[in-house]
Chains A and B, each alone.
Chain A
Amino acid sequence: MYYFKFSQKMFRMLFQSPATMKLYCLSGHPNLPCLVLKFKSVTVMLDCSLDLTTTFSFLPLPLVHSARLAKLPSWVPKDADASDQDTLKTLKKELKECAGRVFVDSPPEVGIPEGGLLDLSTVDVILVSSFQCILALPYITEYTGFNGMIYATEPTAQMGRQLMEELVHYTERVPKTRTASKWKEPAVFKTLPAQLRDGLNPAALRDCYGLHDINSALSKVQLVGYAQKLDVFGALQIMPLSSGYCIGSCNWLIQSHYEKISYISSSSVLTTHPQPMDQGPLQNTDVLILAGLTQSPTANPDSMLSEFCSHLAVTIKNGGSVLVPCYPSGVVYDLFECLAVFLDSSGLMQLPVYFVSPMADSSLAYSNIFAEWLCQSKQSKVYLPEAPFVHEELKTISRLKVFPSVHGDFSSEFKTPCVVFAGHPSLRFGDGVHFMEMWGQSKANTVIFVEPDIPYLEALAPFQPLAMKAVNCPIDTRLSFQQANKIISDLKPLHVVLPENYITPPPSLPQRSDLVLEADPPPTTYQRGEVLSLPIKRMYEKIEITPELASALVPSEIRQGVAVASVTGILEAKDNNYVLQSVPKQPTAGPGQKRKREDNADFAPPKPHVWGAVQVEQFVQDLEKNGVTDVKVEDTPSGHIIHLQSEDTLIQIEDGSTHIFCEGNEELRIKLRNILLKCLSKF
């Protein structure tokens, strides 16, 4: 947590911050969010996802030399400037053609969030929703001058580390000497085929980071628990809430004392292994930012699981093997459980199941110590004490064989037919590439895609033509459009903000008008590179009044149940709270001690605030009671004038004002003043 003294920053936050809220969209991909919210002068980054779809433009990195890949023909633009022989020569080396598509022959590069929208060194807090949305963290924490806080749950940080380290392993264990860069030059890039150009921003491409970057980035992460209240500069309170999608995944509630913003991304209402989604505190927010719905809106996860099993069984029965390109964590946990039951029931208990990833061991081990983040049924297993996931047991009895890579012990254990779970699901690096090269040319084998964020045809493109069967069984438990619409109507946010793609049906299914999100009033949409002003207007700030000051107040009742009191106090920022306390008693100036007016002038409470109208009869009576008898009342168009003839004094009374004209008799003036004040209401 942050504790610090009253600073310029806090001053800005309390007194000078704009009353509205801004949203910067650093990524337009609904499932790879990276947004920045500026509210009450606090800059909060919501997720920092890395775009790995950029790797589809590159040739795979094979573990062992691939003659097929090495022999691919070069590709040059048709309308290339023949006079620039140097460029053409370089391009020939950089671009290769495979089955009618052009690929870059270079280590795959990744796409980082938009950098030009705002100075990322000004980000105060990064909130990470799940281990899939943390992968761009090192690019932000290590290369932008970022100096803020990062909040993530322990599973998000641990499993995020595994995903990052796996990426590094995959890219570093196959060192490529040459890095292609010519093709990225704007003049060249525009001549490339649309298939390669579309959706690719060469300026956002980066080489993968290293282990050092990962360690440094993750060392800055502050671990948080579900429903933990986090205080940011005393200005905002932030709370992660279980999102039900994967171990440790969360939605975020960001609130000041008066405004509530919810950020829901990658949530699930299905019952799988993680703790269920916690919706309660997300009710009635001013703004709901919603992203990360299912990427396979027409595929039901349960039927995908059974399809997965039946494809697998058919392949095995025909003597083939199955490759499942996957991440080391997440959906594989459910797959192992489901597969174990399926293999038992279909008499395939002896079928070898391999899990090949440098992070396999660590992923399985960690999944079993995160009981607190799992669903009830898994949680109660640790009370026995038993491991929450069966993969622990499958591993012990050697039904699940775990290897860091295909090198080493794996080759002596390896038997076909078998099932291999291996990374990377993009099939651009990792051991999966090896199995594709090895099994791709046999009709008996099958590759089954389960990770929903991988467009499988893209993944397969550099392996074409392919003899093996390819099946897409995306298992996506995230919210469907229907579920998301229900959540919007249940949570009743005042405004909804979502990615642009969610208000029209997916391009592949234009007739499915049910695959859109709706809200009333209509949602605000965003796309990459946009800055939105969100309709939230701050009116109040919570401050505290000390009991001493409160007890000294003199409330005057305006009507039944409503009172008002004027308050003068010294405002102090203390422990990130704003406390209004009593003005210290003025020190009485001793003789010879010069009274320093300037020190105390500000402290004196102003005169009471006077309101209402003067009842002239009452006032005259009061004057008489106080010995002012020589009174003549004269009506005027706008009120009355009271003439104190002997004193040459006039009192001009109108509806909203009274003016006392005196001939320098202070004693009388003060007497008149006091009588007048008695006739009026004040606070």
Chain B
Amino acid sequence: MILFLLFMWWPTGAGQDVGRSCILVSIGGKNIMLDCGMHMGYNDERRFPDFTYITQSGTLNDHLDCVIISHFHLDHCGCLPYMTEMVGYDGPIYMTHPTKAICPILLEDYRKITVDRKGESQATFFTSQMIKDCMKKVVPVNLHQTVQVVILNIPQVDDELEIKAYYAGHVLGAAMFLIKVGSESVVYTGDYNMTPDRHLGAAWIDKCRPDLLITESTYATTIRDSKRCRERDFLKKVHETIEKGGKVLIPVFALGRAQELCILLETFWERMNIKAPIYFSTGLTEKANNYYRLFITWTNQKIRKTFVKRNMFEFKHIKAFDRSYIDNPGPMVVFATPGMLHAGLSLQVFKKWAPDSKNMVIMPGYCVAGTVGHKILNGIRKIEFENKKVLEVRMAVEYMSFSAHADAQGIMQLIRYCEPRNVMLVHGEGQKMDFLSKKITQEFGVQCFFPANGETVTIETNPNIPVDASLNLLKREASLTGPPDPKRPRVLHGALIMKENSLRLVSPSQAMRELGLKEHEIRFTSTVTIHDPQPSQGTVERLCTHLKGTLKDHSIQHMPDGSIMIDSVLIKVSGSSEEEETKDFLVSWPYEDEDLGSQLMTLLRKGLPRTVEA
């Protein structure tokens, strides 16, 4: 059996550049789209994946069985309304409850920035109504629930295709998904985090042993220093700037990292009794915190335990930001959206504060190529905007890796948890993925792929074949071999009956009975002449001793009537007079014991050794 993976192709994707996720998996005859992200670095049609890859005309309905969205970040779900409403898809879309709640808000937010503020034409971008219509197609899933995928236009579930969500950390509601078709399976991680942070827990998965693990590898080669050190570092830098009277800009996304940093600053302000104001941009703040309150079961243990007494998401020191505060004198800390400085308020604040060297911008997350965030992080200090205006960046630029992705250690840990047969790295950078893939192959002995944008990968799976084994057969074998002994393999012999679609393993005699077959017994009786000049009784005794010495693992019995039984082989003296030098022996055995029978024939024809004592 074969599993195809098609990486959705963006018109100008340069190799494995990060920034958006959209993967098409074909497994056991089912087609599943994993995430439907947009490329945040582009403002033209290049931001959307090229769906003509799937079909040149018509909707995607006939080509997809379901869509799975791992979390609410736009590089994972930003293209969803475009795909469902503009390209056309009416089948099921699966995501967790928090993702379903938050995703439309971020989509609307992004739509506003793109269409309303940049004045882009409505025709090329999705509308508010499209976001709503798209979200109606979403089926929310709970963690660990086994979801049988619904079939479009049929009031029935697909009993071959099932999915299961696991906690992924990263952001509120982020999930990893196990997709199973028959005995083949794939795990798709989306973005995940293997260490608990201030508001989220660590990702977890059971030993589901998928045929393929598709894991993100944003931090493929980074092994981040301890969380505490990074937090101390962050607080120190903010504090120093404030002391100097400078302003701190922290570009964030409204939900996720922002809440963690707010908790961090809130407690620090409290402890240090700092008076400088902390602002949070956009009207989303209140709402965002409300989501965290209602989805508290998705946060970490500590917050969940204490939420009845104290809600961690009600901040005392953090106030709403107003555009007019940009020019306010004196120190302040501003959380502004969006997080990669590519549009909106964060970019506006940045443009104002960048020329002053007292100020600082802290980039707490990854920035995709093409964004202002990416440029300043790469040391570019002169930034040219669309209107040809050049901005000189004199403010301090700091990068704090707060982004909750798994680092190399975390990725290895996840592989250890779920024990995949193959691994595929996505959402990372080429060289880093190359390095990590070698390490994975070395440590786990599994194949590791890291395909480029638009590439198709085929993975062969070789599943076991399930069979109904008769309990009687299993029990009979067990009674013969006794309790398990790790050193002794248990050999099972039976007959496999193949009838229509069923495979049943039963005992051969049961198979005969069931199939109405009449067993045909075959028996052989041969004569061997042995030279032994003594009474035949003595010869039989000598023979018996000889056989016992030679055939150690067979049951050898000297029967009262003078014959010898070796397993089911019978040896008997055939009528000869007492004193004769030679004696005729009849050797008789059924076909089942053919090997032993012919072995005995060979043995007996050699005669008795002289040394054998009676």
Contact = CB atoms under 8 A, between A and B. Distances in A.
A664 B527 contact: yes
Interface string B190-213: 000000000000000011010000
B523 A658 contact: yes
Contacts of B494: 566-567
Interface string A249-283: 00000000110000000000000000000000000
Interface in A531-563: 538-547, 550, 553, 555, 558, 561-563
A565 B495 contact: yes
Given A565-B495, A569-B492, A611 B297 contact: no
Interface residues of B, number: 83
Nearest to B1: A547
In terms of DSSP, what is the predominant structure of the interface of chain B? mixed
B443 interface: no
B465 A547 contact: yes
Nearest to B551: A597
B495 A547 contact: no
B243 interface: no
Contacts of B601: 664, 666
A243 to B, nearest CB: 15
Given A15-B474, A664-B527, A547 B591 contact: no
Nearest to A231: B206
Interface stretch (A297-305, A361-369, A419-427): A361-369
Given A8-B484, A571-B477, A385 B290 contact: yes
Given A660-B522, A660-B523, A540 B143 contact: no
B497 interface: yes
Interface in A561-596: 561-573, 575, 578-580, 583
Given A379-B97, A567-B495, A545 B529 contact: no
Interface residues of A, number: 101
Interface string B537-579: 0000000000000001100000000000000000000000000
B543 to A, nearest CB: 16
A121 B207 CA distance: 28
B101 A660 contact: no
A610 B526 contact: no
B495 A227 contact: no
Contacts of B42: none
A664 B522 contact: no
A1 interface: yes
Interface string A648-670: 00000001111111111110011
Nearest to B584: A664
Interface stretch (A348-356, A467-475, A600-608): A600-608
B469 A541 contact: yes
B124 interface: no
Contacts of A361: 308
A565 B498 contact: yes
Contacts of A257: 468
B142 interface: yes
A87 B436 CA distance: 81
B144 A385 contact: no
Interface string B459-472: 00011111111110
A569 B145 contact: no
B388 to A, nearest CB: 43
A229 interface: yes
B483 A11 contact: yes
B129 interface: no
Interface string A366-380: 101111100000010
B227 interface: no
B492 A570 contact: yes
A14 B477 CA distance: 11
Contacts of B529: 664
A546 to B, nearest CB: 6
A165 B59 CA distance: 56
Nearest to B592: A607
Given A228-B145, A229-B146, A555-B498, A610 B308 contact: no
Most chain A beta-carbon neighbours within 10 Å: one of B293, B475, B591, B595:
B591
Interface string B283-321: 000010011011111000000000110000000000000
Most chain A beta-carbon neighbours within 10 Å: one of B294, B515, B594:
B294
B106 interface: no
B100 interface: yes
A371 B143 CA distance: 13
Nearest to A537: B471
Given A369-B307, A663-B526, A664-B605, A566 B467 contact: no
Contact of B470 (A539, A613, A660): A539
A656 B97 contact: no
Contacts of A611: 512, 517-520
Contact of A657 (B209, B469, B500, B522): B522
24 contacts: A1-B207, A3-B207, A6-B484, A19-B471, A225-B144, A225-B145, A226-B142, A228-B144, A228-B146, A368-B294, A372-B142, A383-B101, A387-B294, A545-B464, A546-B464, A566-B495, A567-B505, A569-B491, A605-B493, A609-B508, A611-B517, A657-B521, A657-B522, A664-B605
Interface of A: 1, 3, 6, 8, 11, 14-16, 19, 154, 224-229, 239, 257-258, 361-362, 365-366, 368-372, 379, 382-383, 385, 387-388, 538-547, 550, 553, 555, 558, 561-573, 575, 578-580, 583, 597-598, 601-607, 609-614, 655-666, 669-670, 673, 676-677, 680-681, 683
| Nearest 4 pairs of A and B residues by beta carbon | A15-B478, A544-B464, A657-B521, A228-B144
Interface of B: 97, 100-101, 140, 142-147, 164, 206-207, 209, 287, 290-291, 293-297, 307-308, 462-471, 474-475, 477-478, 483-484, 486, 488-500, 504-505, 508, 511-512, 515, 517-529, 552-553, 591-592, 594-595, 598, 601-602, 605
